[in-house]
Structure 1
Amino acid sequence: MFSLLFFALLCATCLAKPGLVHFSYSRAVGGGSGSSFSSEGQGRITAVRVWEISNAYITGIQLRYDYVWSQKLGRSYGSAKEMVLFDNEVITQVSGKYHSNYIYQVIFVTSRGRSLMVGQPYQRSFNFYPTHPEAELRLLSGRYNGNGITSLGAHWGVVFMDQSNSTDNSP
């Protein structure tokens, strides 16, 4: 009986393989009124666009996954500020400012130390980052009303590149 229990425990330990998938969530900040949103797309985030009302708050955000832009989160107002990521560059931090009614500033920081800062430094600060050192921004979620983004949260994960598409023919 003891041998059977030891064998079952050994099998369960081998199957668990801790650390293979690393996801984390940065809890949303802001008032949270309006409709909920979540970005979605296939592949890595390769660019970001942000709209704002000048000297006011963030009205919309859009992410590009590989070569396809996601739906706008919120609304576009005026011209967008945009950052296109380099090959193998990822978003490692999202920061900014918020008040009870809107997100007033958003800052995207990359693995190369570049950043896109849009909006006004007004009220409370937030700082989103992954819990795993190899994780990157995978999607944004939150809420918006007819005017702008009212809350924002970040979802992080480690992206494992598919080795089956490699052009390296070495054994």
Structure 2
Amino acid sequence: VVGTGRSLPPSPPFFPLQSRPGPPPTVASTEGEEGEPFSHSGLQLEGPITAIRVRVNSFNIVGLQVRYGKVWSDYVSGKLGDLEEIFLHPGESVIEVSGSYSNYLKTLNFVTDEGRFLSFGKDTGVIFYAVPLDPNTVL
């Protein structure tokens, strides 16, 4: 899967990563159970984001895994749905993350410093948007 080539949507409200209001969205369970919040805190020490796997069904983002350097995070959540995988180019970085949620995560969008817009899921729900807090840094 490669970037869709779509132009970026109008900017939704800006929320730095540390101060997004309300509880974090969760990845939906495919077994009908409530999703669980998760964190990849500390994995950034393995290196920058180099690949992303997202599992989607007709309604939600149901699974997520991120590769930091050469190390994959634990896979989070459900096993049903289509698995989509994106590899960043050498030296490419994620500079923005946006998406939408209602009870569960609906959409995940990643923008890279090479101008690629990588989109997973369906646009519906409350929009969120995150960029690095410090200038000249990446996510």
The one-letter amino acid of 2:55's match is W
Name the structure 1 match of 2:111: 109
Structure 2 Cα separation of the partners of residues 106 and 116 of structure 1 = 8
Answer yes or no: is 1:45 the counterpart of 2:46: no
Matched AA of 1:67: K
Deviation (angstroms), 1:73: 2.1
- What is the Cα deviation at residue 68 of structure 1? 2.0
> Relative to 1, partners in 2 of residues 1:53 and 1:34: Cα closer, same or farther, differing over 3 Å?
closer
Q: Note the residue ranges of structure 2 that are not aligned, 5 or more in a row.
A: 1-16, 28-33
Aligned CA distance change for structure 1 residues 30 and 67 (closer, same or farther; 3 Å)? closer
The alignment of Structure 1 onto Structure 2 pairs a total of residues equal to 113
CA–CA separation in structure 2 for the residues paired with 1:31 and 1:48: 17
How far apart in 1 are the matches of 2:77 and 2:137? 26
Task: Flag structure 1 segments of 5+ consecutive residues without an equivalent.
Answer: 1-23, 138-171
Q: Does 1:67 align with 2:62?
A: no
Given that 1:38 and 1:73 are in contact with CA atoms closer than 8 Å, whether structure 2 keeps it comes out as no
Cα contact 1:26–1:130 (8 A) shared by 2: no
Quote the Cα distance in structure 1 between the aligned partners of 2:131 and 2:121: 20
Q: Does 1:97 align with 2:100?
A: yes
AA aligned to 1:25 is: Q
Is the 8 Å Cα contact of residues 29 and 126 (structure 1) preserved in structure 2? no
Distance 1:120 1:88, change over 3 A: same
Output the amino acid matched with 2:117: S
The TM-score, its normalising length taken from structure 2, stands at: 0.70
AA paired with 2:53? Answer: R
Give the superposed CA RMSD. 2.3
Aligned to 1:154: none
> Larger Cα Rg: Structure 1 or Structure 2?
1
How big is each residue's C-alpha offset from its partner over 1:56-109, in whole Å with a ceiling of 9 and x where there is no partner? 01111110111221111222323311111111111111111111x111111011
Partners of 2:90 and 2:107 in 1: how far apart? 26
Q: Which has the higher strand share?
A: 1
**Corresponding position of 1:36:** 37
Relative to the length of structure 1, the TM-score reads 0.58
Runs of 4+ in structure 1 deviating by more than 6 angstroms, as ranges, are none
Q: Sequence identity, in percent?
A: 37
Letter in 2 for 1:30: P
